[in-house]
Chains A and B, each alone.
Chain A
Amino acid sequence: MTASTPSGQSSGAGGDAGTTLPRSDALASERPPRREEPPDPSPLTLLDFYPPQDPRWTRIAPFFLALKDGRFTTTRCTRDGTFHWPPAVACPKCHREELQWVDLPTHGRLYAFSEVRGGAPLGMEGGVPFVVGLVDLPGAPLRLFSRIVGRPYAELALGEPVRFETFPIRDGRLFYRFRAGGEPATR
């Protein structure tokens, strides 16, 4: 685990709360403002696999803003120290809302992996075969599931080193995955 870095320090993601997520009571009366840009032209609005990233729709927007800085983050409870995955707005252990954004390690090792050769969801059928796996992040009590790129299935082994990277999805959004071998291709 790298040093705790308040997201507000580098990206302003946490707003004036800095190290803490906004409390739910502060947002209780807010409603998402009317969208000003044209609606998403995709016919798959209800089948969009990716989570909402815009602060108008989610309270964990700092996670996605950090991706734009090439940083991989999650929340940790300031009270009991629990690491959350995915990022949370209330601690599932002690149910407090005072959480802190922390950086995650960007290098890990494959704990298990397989390859999707068929039966892929809409929008991903053209991408088969592709590799997915569980990645152990040394130093963090986390083992994350992710798409694995960079090497074909047949050239991967248990324990293979992999590295976090971001990649663009539609609408200017970014998401994360892990890359085996070679140099990272963070945007």
Chain B
Amino acid sequence: MNKTLTINISGIIFNIEEDAYEKLKNYISQIKSHFVNDSGCDEIMADIEARIAEMLQAKSNQNKQVLIISDIDSIINTMGRPEEFDDNSSNRSNNNKSSFSEGNNYTGNKKKRVYRNGEDKVVGGVCSGISMYFDIDPLWLRLAFGVSFLAFGSGLLFYILLWIVLPEAKTTAEKLEMRGEKVDINNIGKQVSEEFEKIKNKFETEAQDFKQNYGTKSRGAVGNFVNFFVEIVTKIAFAFAKFIGIFFIIFGLMLLVVFLSSIFGSSNIFHFSNGAQSISYSLKDLMVLLINNDSQRNLAIIGIFLTFCIPLIMLVYKGLRLILNIKYKNRIFGVIASILFLVGISIMVYLIADVASDFKKNGNSVDRFSFLPIGKVLTIQTNDKDYDFVDTQEEQDEDINSLKLGKWNYKINDKSISMSNIQFDIEKSNTDSFELLISRMAKGNTSKAAYARAESITYKFVQTDSTLTLPSTFESEIANKWRGQKIRMKLKVPVGKIIFLAKNSEQIIYDIKNVTNTLDSEMTNRRWLMTTDGLSCVDCADITTTTKQKRDRSSKDENEEDIDLDF
């Protein structure tokens, strides 16, 4: 004993066993999903259902009123499985990329698709296939790719990505799809309006169904309605996905070019400039400054490439999949990319730990120089001619080998790195002679290494007559890398001697104590007398910072006092 159902196909009533019904239902929905992208889908379905009804009618008669599963099987045999509709033989099922070419050349919906063209190829047929899609001469694309190969290989990466993403047109159907209709503005417009029309029609019929079914089968109708909206939302999301895809590709490619050119070339990838502060450096320069040796540098290049470029490549890959609407999944590609990314991260962690270990210990090498100036006034200046803050900045911006990290400049030369981390202070001397203390400091993974690194800093000052010239930069061998090298100087001045701070000394003087608490920038271009209390300004009649002077001052200088309070 079997349960039977009553069904209606094309207006004819049939009694059918439950399992046979399930089979028929599945079969019809398979056919429907096969033709769903077809413009004549509804009509084809109606025709096929009518034919099925006719055949079923022939199978049921007075003696046999119920349809059983073998009836359905025989119908499926005659009508054929959806995958048999397109080709007469089974060549489509041999093709493992069949899911990629669902719009076939029989269904009247001549959609164009991007394939690799194996018939006309130089490397992988990528350019040829794409130019087929846009109906242009492949020569231009090949040229463009050729040129982009030179741009630090970013084009090569993109090419390989396309090679992975795009399937080759193998069957005739795929080749026809590859050639397809011209894709131009008119056709795109047409397609959009057709899509719109389809949605509109669907909406109308859906609304009618809803009206008809309302009350009797309200739950089903609501379900249909929900499905319908889900479909619309999916379509909108799909269109949106294309935009996202384009964005992914552009964004990813731009960053890729930037990164690659920064690793292999030396273009500055970060550049912030706001008035006095400016930071700009390229990854290549950073590596020269930080990474110990060549093999580590190669490791760093690989590490940076994997950690930063793999996600970008994946971004471009996703973008391509989105805009080309590629459904088949290349699992291996994703797995390999994830593994490479993790490898990249491990390399970075290792390198960072390695470099950080070089900052564990401090080294300090102090030199003392005593001298007696000839005149009464000792001038302190740096070796910068025509020192002007703004000018030097502009110069540095043009110099690609110069790095600016916060306040300090680093310039990479052939054999050495010149650095500007220098601070100069003035103190009272307990003896009758001037004394200059120069501390060269650096860091290393052991105290010994740090000291050796500090020792290797080259810094030469010049004292002629009554002028002390202190260079604004010092040199460190390139092999020593940047390991926190800095120079701290202290000039001990005997009581009664006068110091003149030249304008260009402003970049090295740091927090020089004086009796009037004058700021460093205000101290330049003035003479300072060492008294038993500390430095005191000799020609500061116009300056405004002292509490002593304030007391002497008349009330008409109130404006200036306001400014002082800001300090």
A binds B: no
Residues of A within 8 A of B (CB): none
Q: Which residues of chain B have a CB within 8 Å of any CB of chain A?
A: none
